[in-house]
Amino acid sequence: MSEIGMSEIGLSENGRRARHGSNIGQPLTRRDGVLKVTGAATYAADNHPDGMLYAVVATATIARGRVVSLNEAAARAHPGVVEVMTAANRPALASDPDEKSNPFMFRLDLLQNDRVRYPTQPIAVVIAQTLEAASEGAMLLEPRYEAEPARTGLDGAEVFTPPSVGVGNPAFAETGDVEAGFAEADHRIEATYETPAQYHNAMEPHSVVASWDGDQLSLDMPSQGLAIAQGRLAGLFGIAPEKIHIRSPFLGGGFGSKGVPAGPQVLGILAARMTGRPVKLVLRREQMFGPVGHRAPTRQRIRIGVSGDGALRSIENHTRTTSSTFDDFFEPAADVAHTLYAAPSIRTSYEAVRLDTGTPLFMRAPGEATGSIALESAIDEAAEAAGLDPLAFRLRNYAEVEPISGKPFSSKALRECYRQGAERFGWSRRPLAPRAMRDEQGLLVGWGMGTATFPALMFQAKARATIRRDGTGLIETGAHDMGQGAWTALAQIGADAIGLSMDEVEFRAGTSDLPDAGIAGGSGHTATAGMALHQAGVAVIAKLGELAARDERSPLFGAGNVGFIAQGGQLVRRDDASRTESFTAILERAGLDKIEAEGQASADGAAQEAYAMHAHGAVFAEVKVDPELGQIRATRLVGAFAAGRVINPKLVQSQLFGGMIWGVSFALHEHAVVDRRSGRVMNADLAEYAIPVNADVPSLETILVHEDDPHVNALGIKGVGEIGITGTGGAVANAVWHATGRRIRRFPITLADLL
């Protein structure tokens, strides 16, 4: 193929990456940072179109049963109330909200009947001139119920085998003979670990500002997947997706909960249709514990067999988890055992119960977070049984190929993560026995570690690149920035693709009328949208190069078979750096104001079939425990991570810090307390739903371990948004054991567990 237009991050004829330009790899400050710290960033609920009404959701206070009556008359009589929407008068939908056509579609509660399926399920919507009037009207509804007993907890209903887990993963997988390996082992670990229900609780609650103009729908709505939202809403309302315009330039966090439209957001759109006026609906904090997803609890029975020389003989994880009574999402917690350690026999299996709860959904590191804290604790127990240091045990059982599949890794720098992390932490000074270290105040000190892993995912995306006659560029894709820095990292990729500096490039994202950037989830957004931008840049430079190569007046005439490098707003011949021409000159002579091209990206199916693709890391944690009070503090964490090419080290470090803090939260803080009688979450607020604050994480350090991966994608990008959780939870739990000598297998670890 011709190399015309191959930019500095383009591909040469043999598929190898060319030298990168000056934008990629730079620790640039976030482009949206000033807007956010000054309050200039506009989130969905900040919009107030003329004539806007306010909608408030009334939610069920029982877990199961039916609504017998609502005092609609009292609500309608309240000053300022315009309308009350119930199952009896809700506008019709074009499709059943309980229908599913793909694994990323979830059933919605849209007032389709009087049934209650979980606490906080929407049962009515009050629409009013003011937020206060709508809130007071919702309180006046005073619903009466026919309640049925709530089914709660991992033992609260009949057990069954789910058809699949995660998104289409098999509920049973095995390699080798697990029973034989366990029987032949010199050391055997058999233990049960429990993880709780957790709720996303992004800073920005789910919201929508909806306006109808005939069959045209305009939405301000936080979304991690604009095209997915368009498609779902188009089906529900019976209109073409292009008639739905969604603006989502800023998200105040999502963690997976904003990947698909939530029921309350659709109710806001219905309220706008009912009243014929723009409507704003914003969930209260306690209403986010139910209709917008959560991480399901798990009970994981893990068996590990170890030979006398410390080699793993078998690993088994049998997981019980939960879903709602009306939909299917099953936390794939056991699957992390497929990828980490070189055991000749591995088996994972699942069972589930259906509870009166909202449907669980994707939550940051779904499966890997729950599974890794259990597996890393069990691996620590196996190391203790074998009399080995935890790091030495992991190195003894280092997997050179993916254990469950036998595939080679596309790249794996985990050994270097272990080495650099241990060296920075001072792991070599760790005594093998627990309760062997105290600080000057007499607090017990413990050191623990955990291995981090997360798959290197990539989805489908499109982008557009434009070069203007004035020498500036425009790059566009419907990308989503929920705080991870996508505005900046994607702009860096796009700018390099067209050979311009960041200051010379305009970046547009966050609206549904732009090319589909895929979903911001699975730690795959930078790879997916970034590759689409890269391909768009390659394509537009190729078109520009063709103009020059065919123009006898250009110093680049006839250079089509040689190819060009795009840099500094110029095309440069690959074989003669003295022969250049500016973008501006090429376009002026052609009489063009601009030139543009589109690009698209998707995962390489052949590479995915041939290689196991994962990011890796190692986390080392120090905790201090009061021996009399049982109080625990994670006083120091060091994480070393290898995740392919780093686009922006400042943003990557921020993401890794966030993941590590969540890992501390998983081990020591976060859980939903469910009332067994009512099924309600009792700590449905941010005062009692404990998450770490600054004082809980006094010292964090990350190391970015160099890693080149020629197979994951042309840019060599893996994701970093979720991997930080997967090693940290286990590291903290193992440090608690090392400090106290007590092995706690139920998370989060509490004072009561240690006392």
pLDDT tens track for 322-336 = 999 999 999 999 999
Distance CA 347, CA 540 (A): 49
Mean pLDDT of 271-281: 98
- The answer to whether 728 and 664 have CB atoms below 8 angstroms apart is yes
User: Over the stretch 141-189, which tens digit does the pLDDT of each residue have?
Assistant: 999 999 999 999 999 999 999 999 999 999 999 999 999 999 999 999 9
User: Over the stretch 388-427, which tens digit does the pLDDT of each residue have?
Assistant: 999 999 999 999 999 999 999 999 999 999 999 999 999 9
**Cα atoms in the Cβ-side hemisphere of radius 13 Å centred on 420:** 17
Residue 21's pLDDT band (cuts 50, 70, 90): low
Question: 464 and 452 share a domain?
Answer: no
Mean pLDDT of 590-617: 97
| Choice among 381, 384, 670, 722 that is catalytic | 722
Supply the pLDDT for residue 6.
26
Q: Within a domain: residue 674?
A: yes
Supply the pLDDT for residue 15.
29
- For 361-510, list the strands marked E by DSSP: 437-438, 444-455, 461-468, 473-476, 505-508
Q: Within a domain: residue 693?
A: yes
Grouping H, G, I as helix, E, B as strand and the rest as coil, residue 389 is coil
Lowest mean pLDDT among 4-18, 151-165, 440-454, 473-487: 4-18
Is the pTM value of this prediction over 0.85?
Answer: yes
Supply the pLDDT for residue 101.
84
Q: Within a domain: residue 541?
A: yes
Question: 397 and 505 share a domain?
Answer: no
Supply the pLDDT for residue 5.
29
Supply the pLDDT for residue 707.
98
Q: What is the mean pLDDT of the chain?
A: 95
Last residue of a domain, one of 602, 627, 662: 602
Residue 104's pLDDT band (cuts 50, 70, 90): confident
Q: Within a domain: residue 538?
A: yes
User: Over the stretch 245-274, which tens digit does the pLDDT of each residue have?
Assistant: 999 999 999 999 999 999 999 999 999 999
Distance CA 476, CA 39 (A): 25
Q: Within a domain: residue 200?
A: no
Grouping H, G, I as helix, E, B as strand and the rest as coil, residue 463 is strand
Question: 66 and 130 share a domain?
Answer: yes
Question: 497 and 426 share a domain?
Answer: no
Supply the pLDDT for residue 11.
28
Count other Cβ atoms within 10 Å, centred on residue 1: 8
- The CATH number for 216's domain is 3.90.1170.50
Supply the pLDDT for residue 538.
96
Supply the pLDDT for residue 561.
75
Evaluate if residue 8 carries a pLDDT over 70: no
Alpha-helix residue ranges (DSSP H) falling in 276-397: 368-386, 390-396
Supply the pLDDT for residue 9.
27
Which are the contacts of 573, defined by CB distance < 8 A and separation ≥ 6?
Answer: 556, 559, 562, 563, 564, 579, 580
Q: Which of 18-27, 94-103, 647-656 has the highest mean pLDDT?
A: 647-656
Evaluate if residue 633 carries a pLDDT over 50: yes
Evaluate if residue 7 carries a pLDDT over 80: no
Q: Dihedral sign, CA of 372, 377, 378, 384?
A: positive
Task: Residue 215: give the domain boundaries.
Answer: 44-148+206-282
Evaluate if residue 492 carries a pLDDT over 90: yes
Question: 642 and 589 share a domain?
Answer: no
Residue 722 annotated to the active site: yes
Residue type at position 21: G
Q: Within a domain: residue 326?
A: no
- The CATH number for 573's domain is 3.30.365.10
Distance CA 57, CA 468 (A): 48
Residue 696 DSSP code: G
Evaluate if residue 695 carries a pLDDT over 60: yes
What phi, psi does 428 have (nearest 5°)? -65, -20
Query: 643 vs 17, which has greater pLDDT?
Result: 643
Evaluate if residue 705 carries a pLDDT over 70: yes
Question: 562 and 613 share a domain?
Answer: no
